[in-house]
Amino acid sequence: MNQTERFYKIDQMISDGRLVTFPQLMEALEVSRATLCRDLDYMRSRLNAPIVYDRLAGGYRFEKAQPQVGGQYELPGLWFSSNEIHALLTMQHLLANLDPGGILTPHIQPLMARLNALLGTAENTAEEIRRRVLVVGVGQRQLDLEHFERVGSALLRRKRLFITYLSKSKAEVTEREVSPQRLVHYRENWYLDAWCHLREGLRNFAVDSIQRVEVLEKPAKEVSKRSVEEVLGPGYGIFTGTRVQWATLAFTTVRARWVASEHWHPKQKGQFDAAGRYLLKLPYADHRELIMDILKYGSDVEVLEPESLRELVREEHVRAANRYPSSGIASPREVD
């Protein structure tokens, strides 16, 4: 542990209200006699720690009745252990790579600067972590989230928003007054779950599709967490819907080992059958995103039920085969 951590350990041991001997401190801190002497002297002279050695009892304690000379005793601002600091810096590095827009980076820069200072001369400095840890974002979209901060501010202040929104699926621009309920980061994008006063219902909006936003000085409509979960949380993926169905997918033995450890939905159920296939059952309210993920596995997955989803996947395979006849995409018969 570094010096600051040792200060906190010494403070903790003595603050327990009992005498602590010199050998006990050496053993707990795993330092030499000379290092411990320097630490105790630094705490007394520089940090104004009221540490005294009780000769009769043979140990160290805090002198509560001793008049304070100079500044008040205060330990330096250590928030985390060295392992926690390295973990946070690694997370910051991951965030910087996974979030090219740097939405959150400016807000955590002061914390990162302090963590860098706390690292001192540690072996794995922040620069070393950034140099050694590489994050490759495959299929990542470049997002323009210029309105993220304003949306977040309205969300926390519980204010309504007036937005101009582009629906990419319909190529349609609408103006909405919404009451933000929560922000969701999902598959490299941010979504706003909100009560839409135009549609009189809960909707989710991709933040990068918000073209203009104005924070209104009107209180946001509050929707209970349970209601939000019932409308926006039951089905697979980010798309919403009130009519939930259950899909059963069968993955070949080749893919079963990977899929068995994947998390598709909080309420998913999975098991291996006698043939070694992995049967995955999960709820969905909108088939669009589920079909995209099913198609990723090609002939290594079969939709067992419902028949409506099975037919939709078959039709999508036919369209793909007709669009790219020489691509080698499996025919519906082969998929079955």
Q: What is the 3-state secondary structure (H, E, C) of the chain?
A: CCHHHHHHHHHHHHHCCCCECHHHHHHHHCCCHHHHHHHHHHHHHCCCCCEEEECCCCEEEECCCCCCCCCCCCCCCCCCCHHHHHHHHHHHHHHHHHCCCCCCHHHHHHHHHHHHHHHCCCCCCHHHHHHHCCCCCCCCCCCCCCCHHHHHHHHHHCEEEEEEEEECCCCEEEEEEEEEEEEEEECCEEEEEEEECCCCEEEEEEHHHEEEEEEEEEECCCCCHHHHHHHHCCCCCCCCCCCCEEEEEEECHHHHHHHCCCCCCCCCEEEECCCCCEEEEEEECCHHHHHHHHHHCHHHEEEEECHHHHHHHHHHHHHHHHHCCCCCCCCHHHHC
Dist. CA 317–CA 325, nearest whole Å: 11
Q: Can you name the CATH fold of 148-232? A: SH3 type barrels. (2.30.30)
Predicted pLDDT of residue 171: 84
Helix axes 287-296, 307-323, angle to 10 degrees: 60
Predicted pLDDT of residue 14: 87
Predicted pLDDT of residue 155: 92
Please answer whether residues 192 and 205 qualify as being in contact, where contact means their C-beta atoms are separated by less than 8 angstroms.
Answer: yes
Q: Which segment of 78-87, 151-160, 217-226 scores lowest on mean pLDDT? A: 78-87
**Mean pLDDT, residues 70-77 taken together:** 62
Please say if the pLDDT value at position 299 is more than 70.
Answer: yes
Please say if the pLDDT value at position 302 is more than 90.
Answer: yes
Q: Express each pLDDT in 75-129 by its tens digit.
A: 665 555 656 666 766 666 666 655 555 556 666 666 666 666 555 544 555 566 6
Stated length of the chain: 336
Predicted pLDDT of residue 129: 62
Please say if the pLDDT value at position 326 is more than 70.
Answer: no
Between residues 181 and 15, which one has the greater pLDDT? 181
- Amino acid identity of 242? T
Predicted pLDDT of residue 330: 44
Dist. CA 293–CA 256, nearest whole Å: 15
Which residues lie across from 194 on neighbouring strands? 180, 203
Could you tell me which CATH number the domain at 3-62 has?
Answer: 1.10.10.10
Please say if the pLDDT value at position 174 is more than 90.
Answer: yes
At 74, the pLDDT band (50, 70, 90 cuts) reads low
Predicted pLDDT of residue 120: 52
Please say if the pLDDT value at position 313 is more than 80.
Answer: yes
Please say if the pLDDT value at position 306 is more than 90.
Answer: yes
Instruction: Name the percent of the chain lying above pLDDT 90.
Output: 35
Between residues 290 and 69, which one has the greater pLDDT? 290
Please say if the pLDDT value at position 333 is more than 50.
Answer: no
Between residues 269 and 150, which one has the greater pLDDT? 269
Dist. CA 335–CA 329, nearest whole Å: 10
Backbone angles phi, psi at 180, to 5 degrees: -65, 140
| Domain map (residue ranges) of the chain | 3-62, 82-132, 148-232, 245-335
Dist. CA 240–CA 203, nearest whole Å: 8
Please say if the pLDDT value at position 65 is more than 50.
Answer: yes
Q: Express each pLDDT in 233-283 by its tens digit.
A: 666 566 666 678 999 999 999 999 899 998 888 889 999 999 999 999 999
**Mean pLDDT, residues 193-220 taken together:** 92
Predicted pLDDT of residue 57: 86
Sign of the torsion angle spanned by Cα atoms 320, 140, 205, 175: negative
Dist. CA 71–CA 90, nearest whole Å: 36
Q: Which segment of 5-9, 153-157, 192-196 scores lowest on mean pLDDT? A: 5-9
* Average pLDDT value for the chain: 79
Please say if the pLDDT value at position 17 is more than 80.
Answer: no
Predicted pLDDT of residue 334: 36
Tokens found for residue 116? 């860098």
